[in-house]
Amino acid sequence: MSEVTADPTSDSGPELKRVMGPGLLLLFVVGDILGTGIYALTGKVANEVGGAVWVPFLVAFLVALITGLSYLELVTKYPHAAGAALYTHKAFGIHFLTFMVAFAVMSSGITSASTASRAFAANFAEAFDPDLGSGTAVTVIALLFMAVVAAINLRGVSEGVKLNVVLTCVELTGLLIVIGIGCWALGVGDGDFSRIVEFDTGERNAVGGVIVATTLAFYAMVGFEDSVNMAEECKEPTRIFPKVLLAGLIITGLIYVLVSISAVALVPADQLGEGDTPLLKVVQVGAPSFPTHIFAYITMFAVANSALINMLMASRLIYGMARQGVLPRPFGRVHQRRRTPVTAIVFTTLLALGLILFVGEVPELGGTTALLLLAVFTVVNVAVLVLRRDPVSHKHFKTPTPLPVVGALSCGFLVTPFTDRNPAQYAIAGVLLAIGVALWGLNYLAIRAMRAQPLDSGSSAE
């Protein structure tokens, strides 16, 4: 295939509008990391490791932090949309690898958003009318919800990130309620905080249990990588990204550890792992007089925020790929008035609607999403080292050299079957990547056909 255009702004069309300052960016990062993961996965992590449920979240935070530093070097060095796909192409220059990395990131985002939409629909039905809980009704509500997300996305990133501010505050309030209940229990002696050092890993040893639990907990830490796809819509990205991304990772890591400690101190690990509403159980046990339906609404909005941010990320990723020449140029088209990537938004929304309508909930969503992103993070950590040979004229953040090495090894290890990961996650990831291979082949043939057209036929061979 032909070489990819190195300059993402080489297209004469309008560029994205820079509307995000450090405050909006911080809330975007925090809101993207918080959400579906911590609200749903605390119990599943407890099933693997017992009362020491905070340990896998801490390990996941450290792995994410190391990789986050690699992203910081790259996004301040190349402050454009496309994220991991851009870094992969600049480091290795292999179209197929670039496409598959981008497709893996996009797939994880759209699949998460689609499943979050169905979770929103289920919570909506439960909160307003339990009789709506049938499969058809949930599907219809999820489709309508995704259409609303698309409308917000089309209107503009400013509207999207402002709504993200509101939803982030709501989901953060829910987690602070859990932490507050835990602090109250500690003060009055109601909770059993001795559980937080108890390991119950079944037939595995403690280390094996923590590794398996970390593969789940890591899903709760992903999201920071989405922010790099908003680089072209940030004010002074080279200056603000390092402080903001590190602050977002530290805030969310601290919240996760405190929430998991509060949860297991109030609810035994075996009970916490039952069902899909672990934090609601914590509220019911720790504060019986608290109106639990309010917490159910908070959970619903937290899931909604995950869907919104994932769709913002996916559309910007497609836009960035098109501006780099990895996808046909029409995918990089920007709306003249709204200054939003209109074709990319329509394309990603159609994919999400298809998943909601024909696939429904994806088994092992959290583990599969983490699996795909851990593979991408392995490539990104290697790319940092390779791109040290590509100096740029402006100052940028630089991570200590040993950290990308540790990041590549740790992320790569968490991808392997040695972590005792559920085989279903590999099957789901394999199907998604196989679809990516098929799309790459179709794109390759389309580009060849376009370039084979004679110049005098009246068509433009770009």
pLDDT at position 259 is 93
Hey, is 442 helix, strand or coil? Answer: helix
Structure token digits, residue 229: 């796809």
Distance (Å, rounded) from C-alpha 430 to C-alpha 434? 6
pLDDT at position 328 is 67
Beta partners for 234? Answer: 20
pLDDT at position 278 is 81
pLDDT at position 444 is 77
The contacts of residue 130 (CB under 8 Å, 6+ apart) are: none
Domain ranges of the chain: 22-451
Which of 378, 376, 370, 371 lies closest to 404, judged by CA? 378
- Phi and psi for 452 in degrees, rounded to 5? -80, -10
pLDDT at position 210 is 92
For domain 22-451, the CATH class is: mainly alpha
Distance (Å, rounded) from C-alpha 157 to C-alpha 339? 9
pLDDT at position 414 is 93
pLDDT at position 341 is 87
- Phi and psi for 83 in degrees, rounded to 5? 55, -125
Q: How many residues does the chain have?
A: 462
Structure token digits, residue 27: 């809330």
Which of 114, 102, 115 lies closest to 379, judged by CA? 102
Which of 265, 298, 268 lies closest to 280, judged by CA? 298
Q: Could you tell me the CA-to-CA distances from 194 to 10, 23, 80, 266, 277 in Å, in that order?
A: 60, 38, 48, 11, 23
Spell out the per-residue pLDDT of the chain, length 462, in tens.
333 333 444 444 555 556 567 777 787 788 778 876 787 778 888 989 999 999 999 999 999 999 999 998 998 888 775 578 788 989 998 888 988 988 898 888 887 787 778 777 776 776 676 666 566 888 888 899 999 989 888 876 666 667 767 877 888 888 999 999 989 888 887 888 889 999 988 888 889 899 989 988 888 888 777 777 666 666 776 777 788 888 989 999 999 999 999 999 999 998 888 766 788 888 888 888 888 778 878 878 877 878 887 888 788 877 877 776 666 677 778 877 767 888 889 988 988 888 788 765 544 667 788 888 999 999 999 999 999 998 888 888 899 999 999 999 999 999 999 888 888 889 878 887 887 787 777 767 777 877 776 655 444 443
Q: What is the pTM of this model?
A: 0.79
Distance (Å, rounded) from C-alpha 184 to C-alpha 278? 19
pLDDT at position 168 is 78
pLDDT at position 273 is 80
Which of 3, 42, 25, 16 lies closest to 259, judged by CA? 42
